[in-house]
Structures are given as C-alpha cells and as structure tokens.
Chains A and B, each alone.
Chain A
Amino acid sequence: MKFSVLINEGPYTHQASDSAYQFTKAALAKGHEIFRVFFYHDGVNNATRLTTPPQDDRNIVNRWSKLAEEHKLDLVVCVAAAQRRGIVDEGEAKRNGKDATNLAPGFRISGLGQLIEAGIQSDRTVVFGD
C-alpha cells in the first residue's frame, strides 16, 4: 500500500517527529511504499542540518536523512513555512538574499501542492503533530 506522512511539529518538542519516524520505518519494514513525507508548520524545523543534540540523544534530523538515503524517501519541506522559520536551500538563499543555507541532506523545499498530490496519490495519509 502507498502511504504518505505529514509532520506538523518540530523536533524535540513533544513526540510527533519521533512517532512519524517510527511509523515510517515500520511501514517500510512491512513492505509498504512511502510516497512522501511532508513537513509543514513547525515541522520544517526537522530539516535543519545545524542541530547538534547531545551525543547520547537521538539525532532526529540525521535519522530522517539516513532513512531517506536508505529508502529513497521524498522528504518535502513547505516553502512558505520554511521561509518563515529560516530553513534555506541554495535556491532560497539566492532568491531571498541570505548568506547561508541549512537544509539537511535528503530534504527538498517545495510547495503545498506536493502535500495535495501526496494525498491524492497515496492510499493513506497519516498526520503527526502537536
């Protein structure tokens, strides 16, 4: 079955990103396809490569990047939510005159249409948030 996942909460806040990660991993382990993981609202904060959690803590951002690499996941960050919160890739840095980028590997910035498409293309969409 084809699943998509929506994450509306940042890392290390409550549990949404952790739950979504465990759900995504379990779905992949069961042979399901993950069509897309969409990060919206504060969820875009899961996509900054500049986080440095303590060494004995889980690294939520790197964990998503690694899972994306292993399973060719499409991790999409909402552009408007990202602009508000300072999540920047090269294109956005150029367009908005920023002097740095911080988008973690495996993520891409795109529009809300990607969420709508995920809802249409997937058999199931599961929402995680606060």
Chain B
Amino acid sequence: MLHIVNKSPLDRPSLDAVLQTAEAGAILLIEDGVYAATKGSAGEAKLKSAGGKFKLYALAPDLEARGVADRVMDGVTAVDYAGFVDLVAEHKASQSWL
C-alpha cells in the first residue's frame, strides 16, 4: 500500500495516523507533507522511529517550492511527478490520508 500524506505534521496528525495504523508499505509525502522529511524537524524523529517499516519518498517539486530541498533527511528518496506515477503503479492500492 502506498500512503500519501499531504499535510505538515505541525498542521494535522495524518502522518501520525499512518505510522500508528499501517503495518508496512511506502509513504509518499506531498504538498505540505514534505515538511515532515526536513532534517531536524519533529517529523524527522517520527519517521526515524518508524524504524524502517516504510519506504519513504517525498515529492521533489513540493520540496523545492518550500525551499527545503537541500534539507531532506537521510532515508527519504525525492521523486518527481513521474516517480509519483511509478509509485502508484507499483503499489496495488494507494491511500490519501486526507
């Protein structure tokens, strides 16, 4: 399952919801969700504590639009929209945590 998170962890607990309820799979951070992947943020600690249960991705254009593309935490792969499409195709289902 691909879990899509589009809100900052400072705004809404949708990333928490994924980490607490989902067993495994991949998490794709888009829109304000990409803030979770910035070094030194509260989101980084949460993603690290998920202990490698999930493959982590963040949408590069959204990182760049927010000026945090050079502060992405280790373990997160930046993908473009084509990569977003590939992730959706690779996983049998996607869940947008709105």
What is the 8 Å Cβ interface bit string for chain B, positions 57-73, against chain A (1 contact, 0 not)? 00001100000000000
Complex: how many Å from CA A33 to CA B86?
A: 13
User: Please, which residues of chain B bring their CB within 8 A of the CB of A8?
Assistant: 98
Q: Is A127 an interface residue (CB 8 A)?
A: yes
Q: Is A26 an interface residue (CB 8 A)?
A: yes
Extra contacts, 15 of them, besides A15-B32, A16-B31, A26-B82 (Cβ < 8 A), are A1-B89, A8-B98, A14-B6, A14-B31, A14-B32, A15-B6, A15-B62, A19-B30, A22-B81, A27-B85, A32-B85, A126-B4, A126-B94, A127-B94, A128-B6
Known A14-B31, A19-B31; judge A25-B81 contact (CB<8 A). yes
Question: By the criterion CB–CB under 8 Å, are A129 and B96 in contact?
Answer: yes
User: Please, which residues of chain A bring their CB within 8 A of the CB of B96?
Assistant: 126-129
Nearest opposing residue in chain B for A125, CB measure = B94
- Interface residues on chain B, size class: 10 to 19
Question: By the criterion CB–CB under 8 Å, are B6 and A29 in contact?
Answer: no
Q: Is B88 an interface residue (CB 8 A)?
A: yes
Question: By the criterion CB–CB under 8 Å, are A30 and B85 in contact?
Answer: yes
Total number of A residues with any Cβ neighbor in B under 8 Å? 23
User: Please, which residues of chain A bring their CB within 8 A of the CB of B30?
Assistant: 19
Scoring B80, B86, B93, B96 by chain A CB atoms within 10 A of each residue's CB, the highest score goes to B96
Q: How far is the CB of A113 from chain B (nearest CB, A)?
A: 21
User: Please, which residues of chain B bring their CB within 8 A of the CB of A3?
Assistant: 85, 88
Question: By the criterion CB–CB under 8 Å, are A126 and B88 in contact?
Answer: yes
Q: Is B54 an interface residue (CB 8 A)?
A: no
Q: How far is the CB of B34 from chain A (nearest CB, A)?
A: 11
Complex: how many Å from CA A30 to CA B79?
A: 15
Q: Is A130 an interface residue (CB 8 A)?
A: yes
